[in-house]
Amino acid sequence: MGITKYLRKAWKKPDKKVQRSRMIEWRKGNSITAVEKPLRLDRARSLGYKAKKGVKVVRIRIKRGGHKRTRPNKARRTKRLHIRKNLRLNYKEIAEQRVAKKFTNMEVLNSYKIGKDGLNYFYEVILVNPSLKEIKKDKQLGPLAKSPRKRSLRAITSTSRKARGLRNSSIKAPKVRPSLRANRRRGN
């Protein structure tokens, strides 16, 4: 058996004391932190991570609970000050988008969950710099450099496509094409 199989097995039942101590450290730090190496190497490698120049891993902390919009405290506001839940995005999508906004020169490749506690979700997001020649020459990561930018903000990452029901072509999902908004308009 290779090391990845043992890593995958270890992550199915992680040590609670170690995980707790890690999360205490993560909570004290910034919400978005660049990391030297991925915590879950097996998962990162399966999602396209390579230990080479131009590939970076970032840890992000996201608050749990309803995805409520913030209440406006000044400037132009709606009459009822709506703070309804924003349920169109899942936590992973929100994490990818926040990281993409922070690292503007990098492109989001993929992400995975590394833990959760009572208040937060913790994710690691794999970023790629498409302007570097090492990435352009790479067989797996090269097409990412040629594709249009801001994949996560345009909802074409793996997570976003899964959330919209576009991953499995055998399952017909009538409510997601051409878009949820278009279908709501069509129904009215």
Compute the radius of gyration of the chain from its Cα atoms.
19
Going along the chain from its start, the domains and CATH numbers come out as: 6-67+83-187 (3.40.1120.10)
Q: What is the pLDDT of residues 88-121, one digit of tens each?
A: 788 999 999 999 999 999 999 999 999 999 999 9
Q: What is the pLDDT of residues 118-158, one digit of tens each?
A: 999 999 999 999 999 999 999 999 888 888 888 888 888 98
Q: d(Cα 53, Cα 135) in Å, to the nearest integer? A: 8
Q: Which two tokens stand for residue 59?
A: 């840890």
Q: d(Cα 54, Cα 130) in Å, to the nearest integer? A: 8
| pLDDT surpassing 90 at residue 160 | no
What count of other Cβ atoms lies within 10 Å of the Cβ of residue 168?
A: 10
